[in-house]
Amino acid sequence: MRPEDALALLRWQIAIGADEALAEEPIDRTAARPPASPVAPIPAAAPAVLRAVVPPAAAGSSAREAAAAAGSVEELRAALAAFEGCALKKTATNLVFGDGDPTADVMLVGEAPGADEDRLGKPFVGVSGQLLDRMLQAIGLDRRTAYITNILPWRPPGNRKPTAAEIALCLPFVRRHIELVAPRLLVCVGGTAASALLDRNEGIMKLRGRVLQYHTDNDNKTIDTICIFHPAFLLRSPGQKREAWRDLLTIRRRLNISD
Ligand code: URA
Q: How far apart are CA 224 and CA 182, in angstroms?
A: 11
Percent of the chain exceeding pLDDT 70 equals 83
Classify 27 as helix, strand or coil.
coil
Which of 107, 119, 128 for a ligand 1 pocket mutation test, highest count of atoms within 8 Å of Cβ?
128
46-60, 91-105, 117-131: least confident range: 46-60
Residue of 150, 151, 159 with the most ligand 1 atoms within 8 Å of its CB, for mutation: 150
In order, the DSSP letters of 178-189 are: HHHH--SEEEEE
Lowest mean pLDDT among 49-58, 129-138, 195-204: 49-58
CB count within 10 Å of CB 56 equals 14
| Cβ atoms within 10 Å of 187's Cβ, excluding its own | 26
Assess whether pLDDT exceeds 60 at residue 44. no
Q: In this model, does residue 185 exceed pLDDT 60? A: yes
Average pLDDT over residues 31-35: 65
Task: Indicate if the pLDDT at residue 125 is higher than 70.
Answer: yes
Comparing CA positions, the residue from 88, 19, 92, 93 lying closest to residue 51 is 88
Among 97, 117, 229, which is best to mutate for testing ligand 1, by the most ligand atoms less than 8 A from CB?
Answer: 117
Render pLDDT for 210-250 as a digit per residue (tens, 0 to 9). Answer: 999 999 998 889 999 999 999 999 999 999 999 999 999 99
Contacts of 90 (CB under 8 A, 6+ apart): 50, 52, 53
pTM over 0.85: no
Cα gap 13→71, rounded to integer Å? 44
108 in helix, strand or coil? strand
**Atom of ligand 1 minimally distant from the CA of 128:** 8
For residues 135 and 153, the answer to whether their CB atoms sit within 8 Å is no
Cβ-based neighbour number of residue 233 at 10 Å: 16
CA of 253 to the centre of ligand 1 (A): 25
Q: Tell me the three state secondary structure of residue 251.
A: helix
Q: What number of other Cβ atoms are within 10 A of residue 256's Cβ?
A: 8
Centre of ligand 1 from the C-alpha of residue 82, in Å: 22
Residues having CB closer than 6 A to ligand 1 are 110-114, 117, 123-124, 126, 128-129, 150
Q: Which atom of ligand 1 is nearest to the CA of 96?
A: 6
CA of 119 to the centre of ligand 1 (A): 13
Three-state SS at 226: strand
* pLDDT at residue 32 tops 80: no
CA distance 208 to 69: 33
- Asked if pLDDT for residue 57 goes beyond 70, the answer is yes
Domains of the chain: 56-255 (3.40.470.10)
Question: What sign for the dihedral angle of Cα 243, 227, 127, 160?
Answer: negative
